[in-house]
Structure 1
Amino acid sequence: MARVGVNGVDLYCEVLGDGDPLVLVHGSWADHYTWLPVLDAFAERFRVLVYDRRGHSLSERPPGQGSRFEDEEDLAALMATLGSGPVYVAANSFGASTALGLAARRPELFRGLTVHEPPLLDVVADDPVLRPMMTSVRQEMAVVLDQLRAGETLAGARRFVEEIALGPGEWEKLPDKARDTLLTNAPTFLDEHGDPAWAALDLDRLAGHTVPVLVTHGTTSPVWLHRITARLTEALPQARAHTFEGSGHVPHVTSPEEYVDVMTGFVEEIRRSG
């Protein structure tokens, strides 16, 4: 266990295992603990860095409005601690948005990138089929954010889980630790949505690079997330896709063995081609 100072913020991180460098980036509301089901398996193959993003759990929560750009710069700094060469990154949800945003600007930092269901709403803003659904999603998100602003943290967290991310009844199925983590990190979720660029991505710039990208989604996730991953796969010539059958927004938790197999298989393909 360690605390590392990067970009003026103390971040909690752990480094395990030996081999090629791999950084795991968690999504909103969560922390490094969400990677526990796959951590030992990855540590047998990689030198793994897992951390709490700024504002989450054991990392410092700086005052003032934050931005995804700051998260991207934090990721870049942590990647540099693993050595001077490029790094593999596996990222989930908002962590996937963060990793993609950094890859668009700093492709030389990446050997390969695996992203699962980044909530990049702006990527599908022009999709006429999805427009009614996206209007509904944004309305639900607005209600969640209003509840968090009003101090109704439990109501907001539960609504996010059941109406946006996982589905009805899923709040009660979560372990106590997972619910506690959601409540702890709710203020950072609210802060993330104060950043006007939180859902944006420069697809054209990213498509101009050669970083290998694996874009994944789960069959039980909301349709709008699937459409975002499909748009990313269509737009990025260097990308390929994988579907986690029977899994949703956190396949490294619900299908850990498959997640490890898919990620390590992707890395082996990169090694063979390189």
Structure 2
Amino acid sequence: MPIQKVNGVNLFYELIGENNNPLVFVHGSWGDHHSWDLIASPLAQHFRVLTYDRRGHSQSEQLTKQGFVVEDVEDLIQLVASLQLLPANFVGNSFGSIIVLKTAIKRPDIIKSIFIHEPPLFSLIQNNPKAKPILDVVQPTIRKVMELIAHGEMKNAATLFVNQIALGAGQWEKLPPTTQQTFINNAYTWYDELQDPDSLTLNINKLADFDKPVLLSTGSESPSIFPMVMDCIENVVPKAKRIALQGAGHVPHLSHPQEYVQLIRQFCSAAEK
């Protein structure tokens, strides 16, 4: 089992592909490196693909004290450096996108390009009147999920999160049992992330000088708050491009893997030129 100790924590990772163009995936909350299974192998024909379990998730070292998003950022920086994968293309989903963006601010020199999908940076739109009706529903639901976790009801928490926040009504029942169990096992780490006041925030003005290629994607079936978040980022990042994935939601790498592979290939190839 490949384990790399970086930043004081043991991280599980998988590295596949022989190409010398590194492609690094950062998963969101609740999941793990298996989130990328449907696209990692096809992309390994063209890239050196790194997937890993973030601290507190699945096969990586579990949390023993309050964690902070700055640790996730430093974990990522040290992991890719220790595996000699710099500079690299970075792909993030959901909370993983926040980590990628914060990495771009801290270490732009290690990045070739970034491709992010729907970071939950709701703090950017908290004063947007169009976002208020949606946030008035989402935020109490988040608090309910946190309450369930605090009482040890991990399955109920995961079910509520998936059905009412992340993927939509009835989607929990459609997840494979192994994925359901992963969400249950990693529930507390999501709870921990939300105890960090900086976890869902970003000083986007610090991205104004980021001059590498950036692709921002949303799903056409996702809640409208995500395009609002992307508007804020797009308005600041000089080289940002935008795409809406038709028929997709919050996890296009699971729902539309073939299209997602093609999109990543095209974007990263263009970034090389």
SS in 2 for 1:79: helix
1:134 is aligned to: 135
SS in 2 for 1:243: strand
Distance 1:153 1:196, change over 3 A: same
1:164 is aligned to: 165
Percent of pairs with identical residues: 39
In the TM superposition, what is the alpha-carbon distance from 1:23 to its structure 2 partner?
0.7
Query: 2:95 matched to 1:57?
Result: no
Aligned partners of 2:180, 2:227: CA distance in 1, in Å? 25
2:237 is aligned to: 236
In the TM superposition, what is the alpha-carbon distance from 1:82 to its structure 2 partner?
3.7
Q: How does 1:60-99 map to 2 (within 5 A)?
A: 60-83=61-84, 85-99=86-100
Aligned partners of 2:82, 2:220: CA distance in 1, in Å? 36
Aligned partners of 1:154, 1:14: CA distance in 2, in Å? 28
User: Is the 8 Å Cα contact of residues 4 and 13 (structure 1) preserved in structure 2?
Assistant: yes
User: Is the 8 Å Cα contact of residues 72 and 101 (structure 1) preserved in structure 2?
Assistant: yes
Aligned partners of 1:226, 1:137: CA distance in 2, in Å? 15
Distance 1:160 1:59, change over 3 A: same
SS in 2 for 1:127: coil
1:2 is aligned to: 2
| Letter aligned with residue 156 of structure 2 | A
In the TM superposition, what is the alpha-carbon distance from 1:230 to its structure 2 partner?
2.6
2:16 is aligned to: 16
Aligned partners of 2:173, 2:80: CA distance in 1, in Å? 36
Q: How does 1:111-260 map to 2 (within 5 A)?
A: 111-260=112-261
Please report the RMSD computed on the Cα atoms of aligned residues, expressed in angstroms: 1.1
TM-score where L is the length of structure 2: 0.97
Count of paired positions:
272
User: Is the 8 Å Cα contact of residues 104 and 202 (structure 1) preserved in structure 2?
Assistant: no
Aligned partners of 1:44, 1:226: CA distance in 2, in Å? 32
Deviates more, 1:229-238 or 1:134-143: 229-238
Aligned partners of 1:206, 1:234: CA distance in 2, in Å? 10
In the TM superposition, what is the alpha-carbon distance from 1:84 to its structure 2 partner?
6.6
User: Is the 8 Å Cα contact of residues 210 and 238 (structure 2) preserved in structure 1?
Assistant: no
Query: 2:35 matched to 1:27?
Result: no
**Structure 1 segments of 4 or more deviating over 6 A?**
none
Distance 1:122 1:150, change over 3 A: same
| Letter aligned with residue 148 of structure 1 | I
**Gap regions ≥5 residues in structure 1:** none
In the TM superposition, what is the alpha-carbon distance from 1:154 to its structure 2 partner?
1.2
In the TM superposition, what is the alpha-carbon distance from 1:78 to its structure 2 partner?
1.3
User: Is the 8 Å Cα contact of residues 122 and 200 (structure 2) preserved in structure 1?
Assistant: yes
User: Is the 8 Å Cα contact of residues 21 and 82 (structure 1) preserved in structure 2?
Assistant: no
SS in 1 for 2:195: coil
Aligned partners of 1:270, 1:223: CA distance in 2, in Å? 28
Deviates more, 1:94-103 or 1:121-130: 121-130
Deviations 1:101-133 (A, max 9, x none): 111121111100000101111111221211232
In the TM superposition, what is the alpha-carbon distance from 1:97 to its structure 2 partner?
0.6
| Letter aligned with residue 93 of structure 1 | S
User: Is the 8 Å Cα contact of residues 207 and 238 (structure 1) preserved in structure 2?
Assistant: no
User: Is the 8 Å Cα contact of residues 207 and 236 (structure 2) preserved in structure 1?
Assistant: no
Deviations 1:166-195 (A, max 9, x none): 111111111111101000100101000010
Aligned partners of 2:157, 2:125: CA distance in 1, in Å? 25
In the TM superposition, what is the alpha-carbon distance from 1:244 to its structure 2 partner?
1.0
